Structure formats: structure tokens, C-alpha cells
Amino acid sequence: MKTRVQAARRPSSLAFWLLSVPLGLGALWLASRPAHAADANAPALFQQHCAACHGADRLGGMGPALLPENLERLRKAEALKTIREGRAATQMPAFKDQLSEADIAALADYAYAPVNPKPTWTEKDIRASRIQHVDEKTLSPKPVFKADPMNLFVVVEGGDHHVSILDGDKLEPIHRFQSRYALHGGPKFSPDGRFVYFASRDGWLTKFDLWNLKVVAEVRAGINTRNAAVSGDGKYVMAANYLPQDLVLFDADLNLIKVMEAKSADGKESSRVSAVYDAAPRKSFVAAMKDMPEVWEISYDPEAHPIYDGLVHDYQYKEGVSVPGFLNPRRTRLTDPLDDFFFDQSYSEVMGTSREGKGQVVNLDARRKVSELQLSGMPHLGSGITWNWQGRTVMASTNLKEGKVTVIDMKDWKPVKDIVTRGAGFFLRSHENSRYAFVDSMMSPAKDTLQVIDKDKLEIVKELKPVPGKTLAHIEFTKDGRYALASLWEMDGALIIYDARTLEEVKRLPMKKPVGKYNVWNKITRSEGTSH
């Protein structure tokens, strides 16, 4: 086990996480494709050609796990091409000279076939997977470079599975290192900004020391992981998993503390975990369930009140069955699941939507829905931002199905305005010191165009289209809001840096599909212009 896990340090293999791929196509393909004569030989073919990298049990090794739960973003044509031709800049070889087309198709089908019984990843597996790369005590307590540690950018380059560290003052890279395969786009930072934690889709958590530019420790939290969160006091890290269906809690050094199965109180329902976020003012993590109408709040405050899931006659005399409030889930039961959500400034209320577009506002203190959100399409609230408009706080969200940005009054939860854009977009970003918000249309034919919104006028005042036909997305600002960095989201891509006042291009930094960039200061101070 130890050898297999350590071998996974080098990312490789099939490109089975493509952000641009519509969900569910792989499953549709599997259901509709006629069987091949070679299908019966698929297990043997897999053991011969694939198991060394992807594991004999398909749970991953040097390459990612090959399971239906992990492959929902895969296009048929891309899968066949990758098996046939290999993948550049990885250890994935080409099989076109070794396998027939029927065998290649059979292998693809096999990767999508459900494993029965469903694979597990136990506490024992988690503990056995942990790797301590360096002893933290031997590292410098101060940055080993001259750049402002609060104005660093962490740039996730999905094209060749690397991370670049960027000096936000000089706007130049100072370090680059190889990452795990298919990192989730949103790394999380310790409160002092020294450490950053990455989560990969195939379950790996990585702790990186930004001041010493070294990977400190890693652990595999699951088989298919959605995201991770770091507690506001820096003591805990939590991972949200699709497979197994659970939340996994670690200390700051990635030592396992506990696993919480995502099940209803009566144990009759289970769910994939959509996401987990830190609610620092509440000293808690908040998690949404994809398949179950519940929101969980897990307090990391040792003084948290006991949790009563059943009927209570008298709280004063503690007449009822309770569990400790510290590091246990407090459930808010709803009528519809939440797949994506956004906190208000107090973190007491959550704006959420399901994949069906049903919106609601949940009060975490009252533990119930307090309002509905009248939103059409598929709002992407997790990428929302806030600002002050005419003396009131508004929140704005992109939409994954419709070309618009919806601005919502956070007092009465009603839409103020729909700002029409070129097409469906994913990311919306701004900064306290900027009058502008930037939105992409990367989910549409207008993927090459960034639109600039005047936050006072609530209208688009400029469009940026530096490379026609190429995807331009994901803005992040420097610490002071002076510059805005956009991603040319291509294999031979770049960070395109704009003056946030004049909106003129300043420079370009070549990057390999920079899927996201994250400023330390903006993240640890919970800037209103970026997601948390």
C-alpha cells in the first residue's frame, strides 16, 4: 500500500477531468453504446495495460481512479483519443499500436462499469496513505524570498498538473512545482497565509508551505473528492467526498481525526457531499448534501452547545438525547437539496440552489428555510460576490445556463436586476478598491470575451477579447486591487494582466491552462470581491 501511494506523487494518465465537459455524457454513452465482442476480455486487458498506473481495483495509483463516479465529465471522443494516442506531458502512453479499436472501446466501457460492491476507502486506508515529505520543524519560520507573502498568487495550471507561485507586486513567477492530478480549482489557506491546502478530484490533500516553497505532507481523503476547507483557527482541514459518501476531518498536519458518513439521522438516506466551506465567524464548517435535503454545520468550537436531533422536552434541564456539539454535525432539514451556496456577511444565512435551479435562503441559527430565491436557469452562487450599492449590500451571481448576471438585494432576497451578458458564465470577480466586476461567458460560444460591469451603474461598460476563439475566464485581483489577472484557459495559455482602472492590458505570463489563480490576502481576509 505504501509503495503504491507514494508512486502516485507523479500525476499522469487519462484526462478524465475536463472542466468544459457537460456532466453525465459518459454515463449516457455507456448506456447507449452497443457491446463489443472484446468486452468480455476487458478485465484482462485492464490488468495487462492499465492496472500498474490506475490500480488493480481501479481505485487509482499513479493515475486517477477509473470509476463511473469519477468519469462523469468525460467526452466519448476524448476518452477514446486518450487511450489511443496517450496524453502529452504525462505518463499515459499511446495504445493504438498495441490494441484494436474494439479493445480500446472495451477498455473505455470497463472504466465506466460500476464496481460491485461499491469500492470503499476506510480510516485504515486514509492513515496508510499519508506521506510526510519534510519535517516542518526544519523549515524556516520566515519567507525564503523577498516578495510580499500576503500578495502572492497561487496559480493552478491544469494543462500539465503544476502550480505556479506568483509575486503579485512584480507580477512574475517565483516558483513552480508538480501537483496531484486534477486539482480542484479552489485551494484553501491557513489564517496566517503561510500554508495552502490543495484537494484533487481523486481524493488527495496536499499541504504546501508558501514561505518555504515546499510540499509538507499529503494524504488521500477519499476516492472522489469535491473540495476541502480550512478552519478559521487553522487547526482543522475537512474534505467533502462523493466517494465514499462522507466528510473527513484532519488536523492541520493532515493526520486523520474522524470520518463522518453522509447519512440521515435515521440512517435510511445517504448522499454525496456537494461541498464544504469554513464559516469562520461561527467557528464551524458548513456542508451541503447533493442527494439529501440537509445542510450540516460542524462546529470546531470546544464550547459548542450539545446537539439534539430528536424531540426535547426542556433544554434547560437537558431532557433529551444529545451528542456533543464539538466536531459533530448539526442538521438543518430542508425540502430540497442544496448543491451550491453562498454565505451572507454574518455567515448566519446561506443562499443556496439545487442543480434543478430551486433557490432558497437558510438560516443556520433557526435551522430552517427563511426565504425563497426567485432565480431562473442555473445560478452559480458559489462564485458570487458582494458590494455596496445605493446604501445596501447586494450579491451578484453568474448563471450556468443563461447569459446573465443576477444582482440580489441581501436584505429582502429579491433580484434587483439581471445584467444581460454574451452567454452563460462561470466566474464573477471584483475587489473593494475597484469600481468594476469582471464576468466571463465561458459556458457559451462567447467563451473568448470578458465583460466588465460598472458596479454603480449595474451595466456592462466594456468587453475584453484579447485572443478571439480562445477561452478567457477567472479574474483575480492583486492585494490592493490595482491589477486584475485573467486566465487564457488553453494548453498554451497565459495569465493576461489588466490595469484595473484603465482596463488596458499590461503584460502576459505564459501558463499551461491556468484554471484558477488565488491571491493570499484576498482569500484570508475574505474579500467581498472573491469567492470563499
Looking up cell 490592493 gives: 480
Q: Which amino acid is at 95?
A: F
Q: What is the pLDDT along the chain (532 residues), one digit of tens a residue?
A: 333 333 333 333 333 333 333 333 333 333 344 434 347 889 999 999 998 888 888 877 667 778 876 676 566 677 788 899 987 656 788 999 999 999 999 998 888 888 888 788 999 999 999 999 999 999 999 999 999 999 999 999 998 889 999 999 999 999 999 999 878 768 999 999 999 999 998 899 999 999 999 999 999 999 989 899 999 999 999 999 988 999 999 999 999 999 999 999 888 899 989 899 999 999 999 999 988 999 999 999 999 999 987 544 444 545 457 899 999 999 999 988 887 789 988 899 999 887 666 789 999 999 999 998 888 888 888 889 999 999 999 999 999 889 999 999 999 999 999 999 999 999 999 999 999 999 999 999 999 999 999 999 999 999 999 999 999 999 999 999 999 999 999 999 999 999 999 999 999 999 999 999 999 999 999 999 988 7
Question: If you search the block for the grid coordinates 445542510, which residue do you land on?
Answer: 295
Q: Which amino acid is at 181?
A: Y
Closest CA to 459 of 528, 397, 405, 384: 405
Question: What pLDDT does 31 receive?
Answer: 36
| Omega cis (within 30) before 117 | yes
Q: Which residue bears the cell 484537494?
A: 199
The DSSP code sequence of 216-280 is EEEEE--SEEEEEEE-TTSSEEEEEEEESSEEEEEETT--EEEEEE-B-TTSS-B--EEEEEEEG
In 10 A of CB 251, how many CB atoms?
A: 12
Rounded Cα–Cα distance for residues 34 and 31 (Å): 8
> Phi and psi of 409, rounded to 5°?
-75, 120
Check if the beta carbon of residue 329 is closer than 8 Å to that of residue 297: yes
Residue 286 to residue 238: CA distance in whole angstroms: 10
Give me the residue label for grid cell 518555504: 212
3-state secondary structure of 102: helix
Q: Which positions ≥6 away from 62 have C-beta within 8 Å?
A: 7, 8, 10, 11, 12, 13, 52, 53, 54, 91
The radius of gyration computed from the CA coordinates of the chain, to the nearest angstrom, equals 23
Q: What angle do the packed helices 101-112 and 25-32 form, to 10 degrees?
A: 120
Instruction: Name residue 517's beta-bridge partners.
Output: 155
Buried b (16+ CB within 10 A) or exposed e, 211-220: bbbbbbbbbb
The closest alpha carbon to 113, from 5, 35, 19, 218, belongs to 35
How buried is residue 208: exposed, middle or buried, by Cβ count under 10 Å (0-12/13-18/19+)? buried
- For residues 407 and 373, give the distance between their C-alpha atoms in angstroms, rounded to a whole number: 12
- Contacts of residues 88-95 at CB distance under 8 Å and 24 or more positions apart, as own/partner, are 89/159, 89/160, 89/161, 89/512, 90/11, 90/12, 90/13, 90/160, 90/161, 91/10, 91/12, 91/13, 91/53, 91/62, 91/63, 92/12, 92/13, 92/14, 92/53, 92/63, 95/49
The Cβ-side half-sphere exposure at 276, using a 13 Å CA radius, reads: 32
Predicted local confidence at residue 182, as pLDDT: 79
The SS3 assignment for 523 reads helix
In sequence order, the 6+-apart residues with CB closer than 8 A to the CB of 266 are none
What residue type is assigned to position 240 of the chain?
A
